[in-house]
A and B are shown apart, each in its own frame.
Chain A
């Protein structure tokens, strides 16, 4: 009996075969994208999925130039930084208040937040567009960032609140007994505790904004203020036959994401797993 339980190892070969095939399915398209970004158009015609025979590195500066990446990448960075700052500061304040200061009606507020985050975007997209037009916020960086902050903050508040609730408030109370003001408690005690949670939120929000397409498509229609995604959409349609160029553009867009993904994998996986359930 014991022999059957512990002695006999299960045969894991089928697991590895199927998992290997699934890995190939996930990764090979990205590899082909990378290969194609280094081919000449001529080579791409006859060798459309294989390893490049000759590296044409000039695709990258060409795509950078023709796709206006210097401008759009700056725009995307502005959107990411603005949104992350807004979500972390405003969402963090709200999460702290809800987890620690126990205002009346905080449970009701959480229910409000929960239902709010399930309202479909298409219900308010058109009225929001009109409102933004009337407020002259359409095609402004500030206007787009405000929308991103609003849509990302429910998730941030949930995550940060549940993160804070896990820690007992003893440190804060001890600081208060020692005569610290509420502001000091917040900056000296709470912030260091919340730090990992804030970093996770920042990472998930940054990734979301970096790749966001549909809201930018609607609310930012001036070329020189577009983020990477929608500007790349135009670039891709303009150079629809020049795939080595557009592939190089795509690689430049995902390179920062890939580098951060490799570096902070664990936090990424944790954050997104929680974020996916927002």
Chain B
């Protein structure tokens, strides 16, 4: 957050005509306004966040006294817990999927949509629609549509298109990808509207100049659109990378990590440890590990930026 020059101006102007005493009183009033929500934050996020750092170093069921075991949880996590290792691999797949598939879909949709006028508003709303649905509804819809005997596959089978009546969510080879597909269904359209909004801020002159130089549509996209919305793309790539370590809803609703751990994500693994097996200390260690990974991504991003990469 950089200081906004207009705020600075008004504040100095005010001091001059409000006087010192009033200024102090308004400062107090300001903090009286800020304190309530800050307290709520401290209690819900910051306090537990800090105590989580300690719990991660303990063996604790959540009741009674926590036993300090140093880095024991992390040793177990990285050397013995094969489920965590598998879950971590699945999260990497998840990240790779969401850094590519929705990005490509959204970029193509947005650039195609930016060129048309008639019907653009209707198409926009349609793209947007899945995003406003609760995750439970979109997940349920896809569990229905991906069912081998009653879903799309079965319907296509009846009209002669064979081979799609596969138990997508029940087969350990396809479960994770199917869940990612369902999650992406509600996500890509929203992403395309974000990109479209960014594209609409690109000056039209740039396109006119490119056309003047004889650029075709691909060249315009490559040399005008992409550089124009670069900050938005990079920001969304960064957020996607962070969010992919937090994904939970779709996995939990559709498979709960199954069949036999084939779609386990770090978050569902953590949920099971904490709330089904009551390993509070161990779950806190997983939470800390995930957060550190997300932190590393942000850190790497910031370092690259400092080094002069234009991102």
Contacts and interface: CB of A to CB of B under 8 A. Distances in A.
Contact of B30 (A26, A97, A124, A150): A97
Contacts of A228: 134
B294 interface: yes
A101 B136 contact: no
Contacts of A179: none
B18 to A, nearest CB: 8
B51 to A, nearest CB: 5
A217 B29 CA distance: 38
B48 A22 contact: no
A29 B193 CA distance: 20
A154 B48 CA distance: 17
Contacts of A16: 116, 119
Given A26-B129, A26-B130, A103-B30, A153 B152 contact: no
A7 interface: no
Contacts of B65: none
Interface string B115-143: 11001000111111111111111101110
Nearest to A133: B62
Given A27-B126, A48-B154, A118 B45 contact: no
Contact of B48 (A98, A127, A212): A127
Nearest to B119: A16
Of the candidates A111, A126, A149, A165, the one having the most CB atoms from chain B within 10 angstroms of its own CB is A126
B283 interface: yes
Interface stretch (A51-59, A60-68, A191-199, A270-278): A270-278
Interface in B267-303: 267, 270-271, 274-275, 280, 283-284, 286-288, 290-291, 294, 298
A77 interface: no
A129 interface: yes
Contacts of B258: none
A22 B116 contact: no
A273 B194 contact: yes
Nearest to A18: B112
A229 B136 CA distance: 6
A130 B64 CA distance: 11
Contact of A29 (B52, B185, B270): B185
B173 interface: no
B190 A93 contact: no
A12 B109 contact: no
A128 B286 contact: no
Given A49-B151, A93-B33, 7 more contacts: A94-B37, A111-B1, A123-B52, A125-B270, A126-B270, A146-B43, A176-B18
Interface of B: 1, 3-4, 6-7, 10-11, 14, 18, 26-27, 29-31, 33-34, 36-38, 40-41, 43-49, 51-52, 55, 62, 105, 108-109, 112-113, 115-116, 119, 123-138, 140-142, 144-145, 150-152, 154-155, 185, 189-190, 193-194, 197, 208, 211-212, 217, 235, 239, 242, 245-246, 248-249, 252-253, 266-267, 270-271, 274-275, 280, 283-284, 286-288, 290-291, 294, 298
25 contacts: A5-B208, A16-B119, A19-B112, A29-B130, A90-B40, A93-B34, A94-B33, A97-B29, A101-B33, A102-B7, A103-B27, A116-B45, A119-B291, A120-B245, A123-B290, A124-B52, A133-B62, A169-B10, A213-B252, A214-B252, A217-B252, A257-B134, A269-B128, A269-B193, A272-B128
